[in-house]
Chains A and B, each alone.
Chain A
């Protein structure tokens, strides 16, 4: 009988040599005359263990990691195909504490199945949600999503069901479902990991959304920086068509749904929903003035759902297990689970899916193991480049939309970037303005000019020019940008700056740098 070995094909694993490991295993097996079937899964999200090689022993999956190609001969010598002892042996993968304590709903299959195998997806509960949805009225599907408490995981946290209801009730000959896969926030990679590890769950989620609102065409707006995800999605979409789960007659329902991937072109602003729609229409990604809402007048002027990858990929399990099942996870008004991404200066970086309510401290230390450098963690930025920097004194804050906004922060897309005590927070504040200047679409003045002036004002503070006056000016400028910008880029870029002024002001007051 052939031994089955999993080596991830996720971009993070590949970036650490997974392809060479896979080749080395095939080579070594051949030279030893052992029959090995190599399967390529997504990542389990334990990135510090990548490349994480898993061997099927009986009904268990036993892990070894992080494996380099040089380790492969020794692994064979240690009989790793039968879970033999070796320095890299991890035991049953599901028992690794980092993984065992998670509550994997949206990421249930990621790292487990072969991402582009339709059969594997169905074998692991895939398309059960869609089959239920086909038997329901559109209003019932929307009600289930509303009742689940699901809120937009892209960052805005708007109730998904309400968005769907608006689109459902907007009469039009053509409606669209679009997926915002322009995951540009530094510190986030959940969308990429999902699309590379379980693309069918996104496809199924979009198909359910289409049934719910009466859309027949879908687009996944994918950032061009994700070539691996592009290939995986293309393969999965093709398989779904072949299996009759996309196209003229979705799963025998008599309903049409077509799906296409469109590539972005390196503009951060296109993660903002109206600018994403402009880009999908083939124009400059400049934001639109709202109203009208995209759910009423969106892509090509038609009612359009714009949801993030994780929001859409969470829909199948809600329709499969029921709204109540999903909303039983979480706290307060933050229902369900959230994939937290641990990034930056962290020892055990990766993805942790947990119900809302887990504290920053637990994530940073129990999961993350503290900083990678071994120095104290001084600050974390939560929610991407527009999120606040949070000081160590607030690490007991829970991951919960309301708790975070209570301390002037935001969850955003769930990325946590850790910095040790060597960080210069004034430089990070300057970078927030600089990034906004690079990425501003230019449509509104507070963002376009404010960000450039922001960099200049911070430079004057750092150079020691009229520090008190310029610090006041910076606060004024932040207020103007927050109140006057058209969208979240200019409207939120001041958040990290203000958080530095509040919690790390001393970094602005160090001896002048010029």
Chain B
């Protein structure tokens, strides 16, 4: 694992203000930023562990634990609320049997809230693994999960 971190840091070390670039690259590779990466990154970028942890924990996008195989983001911002997003959010939690910020016990789906996907003329919006969906009804939500192996 530390060789992986090392390769990533080699790639970005000389970029100005490299920490976010490094964290993005680590998360792209592992799906999250493993705890072991923090002291390693801190050492190589000449930062304190607190600084790296501070950045890691500040941004909603960075995860500190492994997510499910699929990441399901349901928009909860105003435009989607105007089109029934709260109902959809309730439905999503019920359907998956988990709350927001949780992963299903079989490790298939992580459910995350998101505040705007920029698809506001087609609310409510959902993003699954960077694929965007508009005007998502509860029935369509179920179909999207089924296509991805959710029963």
Contact = CB atoms under 8 A, between A and B. Distances in A.
Given A47-B122, A265-B24, A280-B17, A15 B55 contact: no
A473 B77 CA distance: 26
A224 B61 contact: yes
B16 interface: yes
A354 interface: no
A344 B55 contact: no
A385 B115 CA distance: 10
A245 to B, nearest CB: 23
A228 interface: yes
B115 A268 contact: yes
Contacts of B115: 184, 186, 268, 385, 435, 438-439
Nearest to A229: B118
Interface string B52-63: 001100111110
A266 B61 contact: yes
A15 B78 contact: no
A227 interface: yes
Contacts of B59: 264-267, 285
The 3 closest A-B pairs by CB, nearest first: A349-B121, A186-B77, A343-B120
Chain B CB within 10 A, most for which of A224, A267, A344: A344
Interface in B117-136: 117-123, 125, 127, 130, 132-135
Chain A CB within 10 A, most for which of B58, B60, B62: B58
A261 B114 CA distance: 22
B103 to A, nearest CB: 18
9 contacts: A12-B122, A12-B134, A188-B118, A225-B114, A282-B18, A284-B55, A284-B58, A415-B120, A417-B120
A346 B120 CA distance: 10
A467 to B, nearest CB: 24
Interface string A173-193: 000000000011111110110
Given A47-B121, A344-B123, 20 more contacts: A12-B122, A15-B132, A16-B134, A50-B122, A188-B120, A189-B120, A192-B118, A227-B130, A266-B59, A267-B58, A267-B59, A267-B61, A280-B17, A281-B17, A282-B21, A343-B120, A344-B83, A345-B82, A351-B121, A385-B115
A14 interface: yes
B125 A15 contact: yes
Contacts of A12: 119, 121-122, 132, 134
Chain A at the B interface: SS class: mixed
Interface of A: 11-12, 14-16, 47-48, 50, 183-189, 191-192, 224-228, 262-268, 279-285, 300, 341-346, 349-351, 372, 381, 385, 415, 417-420, 423, 428, 431, 435, 438-439, 441
B79 A344 contact: yes
A102 to B, nearest CB: 15
B38 to A, nearest CB: 14
A439 B117 CA distance: 16
Interface string B37-78: 000000000000001001100111110000000000000011
Interface residues of B, number: 40
Nearest to A372: B83
A343 B17 contact: no
A48 B122 CA distance: 8
A418 B120 contact: no
Contact of B20 (A15, A263, A300, A420): A263
A344 B58 contact: no
A224 B121 CA distance: 20
A186 B80 contact: yes
Contacts of B121: 12, 47-48, 189, 341-343, 346, 349-351
Contact of B78 (A187, A226, A227, A268): A187
B19 interface: yes
B79 A417 contact: yes
Given A282-B55, A344-B83, A419-B82, A263 B24 contact: yes
A14 B20 CA distance: 29
A342 B81 CA distance: 15
Contacts of A300: 16-17
Contacts of B16: 281, 300
Nearest to A230: B130
A187 B118 CA distance: 7
Nearest to B134: A15
Interface string B78-112: 11111100000000000000000000000000000
A349 B127 CA distance: 19
Contact of B116 (A225, A262, A265): A225
B132 A11 contact: yes
Contacts of A342: 121
Contacts of B20: 262-263, 265, 279, 282
A189 B119 CA distance: 7
Contacts of A268: 115
Nearest to A373: B83
A312 to B, nearest CB: 18
Given A265-B23, A344-B82, A385-B77, A349 B117 contact: no
Contact of A185 (B17, B116, B127): B116
Contacts of A184: 115-116
A57 B23 CA distance: 49
A283 B55 contact: yes
Given A16-B135, A186-B77, A186-B78, A341 B120 contact: yes
B61 A265 contact: yes
B82 A417 contact: yes
